[in-house]
Amino acid sequence: MRKAFPDHWSFLLGEIALYSLIVLVLTGVWLTFFFKPEMQEVVYQGPYLPLRGQLVSGAFDSTLRISFDVRGGLLMRQAHHWAALVFVAAIGVHLLRIFFTGAFRRPREMNWVIGVTLFALALAEGFAGYSLPDDLLSGTGLRIAQGIMLSIPVVGTYVGMFAFGSEFPGHDIVPRLYSLHILLLPGALIALVTVHLILVFYLKHTHWRGPGHKNTNAVGKPLYPQFTASSLGLSCAVAGVLTLLAGVAQINPVWVYGPYRPDQVSTGSQPDWYVGFLEGSLRLVPAWETNFAGHTLMWNVLLPAVVLPALLFAVLYAYPFVEQRLTGEWRQEQHFCDRPRERPVRTGLGVAGVTFYGVLVLAGGNDVIAQSFRISVNALTWIFRVALIVAPVVALFLTRALCRALLHAEQERLTEGEETGQVQQTLAGGYESDHRPLTSFRPGAPRRPLSPPDQPRGSHTGTPARPHPEPERRTR
């Protein structure tokens, strides 16, 4: 009960993901009482007049019934959807915090692997839930998913038939996705979250350098009562914000889209944000195909939708082990957080990855952007193609230069002090600004100049900067 938890706000990102998951489970259990995962056609007889009398699937009919007939049903549907978006976003930002501060190093490599796996499962869980209402938007997403399956050489046809049970759209995909969405994927998520929390408790948190902070201790507020109180407050805030969003911010109005029909696609169809990078990659690759040994290889689908995600997650899984081998840090445990400016190479690579992802997300809406700004969609596509290659490289070098500039400016402030705003006349008759010693420091910032001040170790290679002198040794 006296376990120390860090005070810094960035450590709360993982808790936001946890409490979003709790909201997801609670609202999801409630929705299961009313949703019917059926694809047999029925005649809609509900209160929404534009669709009354039309043939719809049982899944779409039950979704409309939840939205219009069940008391509080629309609120619960939208709370569930908003919680899913926040859950994936919180995991992603939490992983970025761990990456940029180096909290994935020994002995926490396994927790990084679990976190990346949780992110992948959250993407799959979100897509499965997004597809269940069987509306025109989600059906279009399933059609794209089937095309991705068919692009896999040799076995693609068999994979598609196994998933859908027959020719698209079939009658089995929604019941199968429902089983994955409410049973298998949530079970895997909850199990991995439990293991993740156990490892966090056992290995303890990383912390910033500062007075009293060592590589052999853990500094922060105790689990009870301080952390318990603040964490309960955060859980109530997360639940309250999600409920507020569900009440005032409409999301996924399936009655506007209408039921899915294989011969229709709505204009401006956009998936949830976390699948947007796949949409963008599909739109940027030209129509490349190769006929080989009687098989057609659809590179324009296989590369962006199968190979690219596999490579991205392979890099995420391997990065902690590769970096530690290159820097030699795998030999000892690391419990201090790095400041991103102290690792110019790692920070540059991270910003380049985020830039690469951002270009793909923007490219996923190239038709909407082109229509909104009245520019050619073909020209915009070529702009994104060039940006996908050039922008990450530019982001890498700019970030690395910025990190070095921040380090240099910080060394000057530590050496000369901060300016007071006063100007003094020197004995020689000139003028100079007055300085005073620094009295406040950000978490992890050094308390005195590092040596040498203009070229800290690791500014080129990304290896760790020279350890900051521990203030407790100087004061004792």
pLDDT exceeds 60 at position 427:
yes
Average pLDDT for the chain: 89
Element (H, E) at 418: strand 418-425
pTM for this one?
0.88
Pick the range with the lowest mean pLDDT from 9-23, 32-46, 277-291, 457-471: 457-471
* Predicted pLDDT of residue 246: 97
User: Cα-flanking dihedrals φ and ψ of residue 287, to 5°?
Assistant: -80, 85
| Residues paired with residue 290 on neighbouring β-strands, in sequence order | 297
Percent of the chain with pLDDT over 90: 66
Let me know: does 234 contact 19? Beta carbons within 8 Å: yes
Spatial separation of the C-alpha atoms in residues 391 and 221, rounded to whole Å: 42
What is the enclosing helix (H) or strand (E) of 422?
A: strand 418-425
The yes-or-no verdict on residue 33 having pLDDT over 90 is: yes
Q: What is the rounded distance in angstroms from the CA atom of residue 449 to the CA atom of residue 64?
A: 65
Tokens encoding 199: 């490892």
- Give the model confidence (pLDDT) of 346-401 as tens digits: 999 999 999 999 999 999 999 999 999 999 999 999 999 999 999 999 999 999 99
pLDDT value at position 461? 43
Please determine, for residue 470, whether its predicted confidence score (pLDDT) is greater than 50: no
Q: Is there a contact between 36 and 96 (Cβ–Cβ < 8 Å)?
A: no
Please report the beta strands in 75-183, taking only residues with DSSP state E, as ranges in sequence order.
none
Beta strands in 293-373 (DSSP E): 295-298
Euclidean distance between CA atoms 160 and 144, whole angstroms? 11
Three-class SS state of 399: helix
What's the pLDDT band for 458 if we cut at 50, 70, 90? very low
pLDDT tens, position by position, 68-110: 999 999 999 999 999 999 999 999 999 999 999 999 999 999 9
The mean per-residue pLDDT over the stretch 250-272 comes to 87
